[in-house]
Amino acid sequence: MAPLQDDVLLLDSLRLGEAAPALVDGGPMTLRGADSEDDDEREGSVDTKSREKVQKARRFRVLFHNDDYTTMEFVVLVLIKFFQKTETEATQIMLSIHHKGHGVAGIYPRDVAETKVARVTDFAKEHGMPLMVTAEPEE
């Protein structure tokens, strides 16, 4: 078939809602699914593969929990040191922790969140503070 005729056939089949014919070496070819029974009997057939959906990486919130012993200044220091917050941002988060019982320091991929929790917990223990920090999946 000539290229112009191929284009006309393709447009006609698309207008009619039919599957477009595939061409191999100038001739039509049948496209079939991967679960077709007579794959070995037809020449020039192409099996299609289904793609798996890629899930978006789950993110985790790093939460600070209020307690009666950890000083507000220490919480601000930790937020600045480990979460790169400004003094103003750290103070706002610390007040949220103090008034609501918990506050979000940041949202990260799982491995980053778990590492931050471990580092902050170790730092707090070294300084004699019972600061509780957890990571939970973002909703």
Does a structural domain hold residue 125? yes
pTM, two decimal places: 0.61
Query: Could you give the number of structural domains in the chain?
Result: 2
Is the CB of residue 79 less than 8 Å from the CB of residue 62?
A: no
Provide the domain limits for residue 27.
3-48
Is the CB of residue 82 less than 8 Å from the CB of residue 36?
A: no
Q: Are residues 42 and 63 in the same domain?
A: no
47, two tokens: 């099996």
29, two tokens: 């070819």
Q: What percent of the chain has pLDDT over 90?
A: 58
Q: Residue 16: what residue type?
A: L
pLDDT in tens, 81-127: 999 999 999 999 999 999 999 999 999 999 999 999 999 999 999 99
**For tokens 């000539």, what's the residue?**
2
Q: Are residues 38 and 64 in the same domain?
A: no
Q: Are residues 44 and 64 in the same domain?
A: no
Say how many CA atoms lie within 13 Å of 105 toward its Cβ: 29
